[in-house]
Amino acid sequence: MKTIGIDIGTTSIVLVLLDCERREITDSRCEANHFLPGGFRQDPDRIVDLVVEMLGRLLEEGEEVSGIGISSQMHGILYVDEAGRAVSDFYTWKDDCGEDCFRGKSCADYLSESTGYPMFSGYGTVTHFALGRRDEVPKNGKYFTGIGDYLAMRLCGVSEPAADATMAASFGGYDLCREAFDLERLEKAGVLISFYPAVLKRGVKAGSRMAGRYRGIPVFWSVGDNQASFFGAAGRSEDAVCVNVGTGSQVSLFDRRRLPCRWGEVRPFPGEGYLYVQASLNGGKVYERLALFLEEICSVLPEECLSGMRVNGYDLAQRLLRQKESTDLSVYPSLYGARGRKKRFGVIENITEKNFHPSDLVRAYVAGMAAELHDMYGGFPDGLCGGRRKIIASGNGIRKNELLRQEIERQFGMPLYLSGLAEEAAAGAACLAGEWSLF
């Protein structure tokens, strides 16, 4: 049996063809995803058009496919009209309108305090509330939905969205016990509740997870990319720590129990159990900024110093890292702040005459990236961390950076393995489509 997995990420759109029995990707496609000028919004119809084109090329090759699963970047929303067509841009998880001031605090902080549910700028509920305050909710909008579910709607010709629990919980204001939005508290806080999509509880039959069919192939409502990535990398393993470094980064643990967690989030997992997540705004983009910094320095050197060669910042960073195995210089490269504490940016400490070298700076920078991940892991309850024996790494930001993997192993004190499937989120969505297609 073969299934297709589609992952709509922040910076790329990936499609994989998975042989479910051999657990092997037999074909894959990738297209860049872009922000619209001037902010962190994306064009939902362009995304759909790209996916349809990618699907068309694959299906023209005559592959027999049993199901299509979708993994979606979480938190963000777009509005659709009565016909199920987009009437707004897609406001991604990076959109900051939730920082708008309301009653002396940000919209995100106001909703968190008013409802009792932790929410941050970029969460769908916060974005929806802030747009309502600005009077920017589209007049012809009927529902809001995530980008993955919008894709499912368009592929299947569906006019009303639904949301898997993994996606619904990412919007904010979601009751894990009842597996439903807490509409009463949200309305009391001033949120326009008529726009929320229907929620698919995890106990419903697999057939109910179908949005419809595309060219006769079952298409399933989307799952959150964090859960899909974990499933693609580690299944439902309870002895693994999953570290994902993409545009942002996450440290995730799966457990069948629902335990109190002071820091981070408890997210529903497909089928059963929960994913305990510490998420950071910093990730692969932080390392990209280091590479660009090195390129910028080289760009001001005379041409004769470079012998006419163009410097690749990533390659230079790796060369510098290999020159210095450790350093007492300390760098915490929180370039994009911390979720809920956006003014907590990066620091460089303990600069001395002995460590004031490019190789020390790069080594400390990468060590700081690993330290942030380990700090997030330390925020989990002790009852969750016991019995964890390995790290499974996923995401291109870590897959392509051997020395970051070494630093993570060193700081966690556990062996690190790359997940067996590349493009873990798309592969996880394909695996889930395989499970659901059996029923």
pLDDT computed for residue 343 by the predictor: 63
Confidence class for position 207, pLDDT limits 50, 70, 90: low
Tens digit of pLDDT for each residue in 141-161? 999 999 999 999 999 999 999
- Residues 294-336 have pLDDT tens digits of 988 888 777 656 665 678 888 989 889 889 889 999 999 988 8
Residue 439 confidence (pLDDT): 60
The answer to whether 396 and 28 have CB atoms below 8 angstroms apart is no
Over pLDDT 70: what percentage of the chain?
Answer: 96
Closest-CA residue to 215 (of 143, 278, 156, 264): 156
3-state secondary structure of 128: helix
Percent of the chain whose pLDDT exceeds 90: 67
pLDDT computed for residue 29 by the predictor: 94
Q: Which tens digit of pLDDT belongs to each residue from 362-398?
A: 999 999 999 999 999 988 888 888 889 999 998 888 8
Spell out the SS3 assignment of 371-402. HHHHHHHCCCCHHHHCCCCEEEEECHHHHCCH
Question: Would you tell me the crossing angle of helices 313-323 and 402-412 to the nearest 10 degrees?
Answer: 40
> How far is 112 from 9, CA to CA, in rounded Å?
26
Q: Chain-centre distance of CA 228, in angstroms?
A: 10
Beta bridge mates, 232: none
CA distance 356 to 313: 19
Q: Looking at per-residue confidence, does 423 or 159 come out higher?
A: 159
The whole-number pLDDT of residue 303 equals 66
101-109 CB contacts, 8 Å cutoff, 24+ apart: 102/130, 102/133, 107/133, 108/340
CB within 8 A of 22, min separation 6: which ones?
Answer: none
pLDDT tens digits along 115-146: 999 999 999 999 999 999 999 999 999 999 99
Angle CA 112–148–50, to nearest 5: 135
Q: How far apart are alpha carbons 171 and 181 in whole angstroms?
A: 9
The pLDDT of residue 395: 81
Mean pLDDT score across all residues of the chain:
91
User: Euclidean distance between the first and final Cα of the chain, in Å?
Assistant: 14
Residue 429 pLDDT level (bands cut at 50, 70, 90): very high
For residues 83-106, give the mean pLDDT: 95
**pLDDT tens for each residue of 36-62:** 999 999 999 999 999 999 999 999 887
CA 341 to chain centre: 19
340 band by pLDDT with thresholds 50, 70 and 90? low
Q: What are phi and psi of 27, to 5 degrees?
A: -160, 150
Average pLDDT over residues 66-85: 97
User: Residue 99 above 60 pLDDT?
Assistant: yes
Is there a contact between 134 and 97 (Cβ–Cβ < 8 Å)?
A: yes
Residue in the structure block whose two tokens are 């960073």: 317
Query: Would you say 125 and 189 are in contact if contact means Cβ atoms under 8 Å apart?
Result: no
Q: How far apart are CA 428 and CA 27, in angstroms?
A: 15
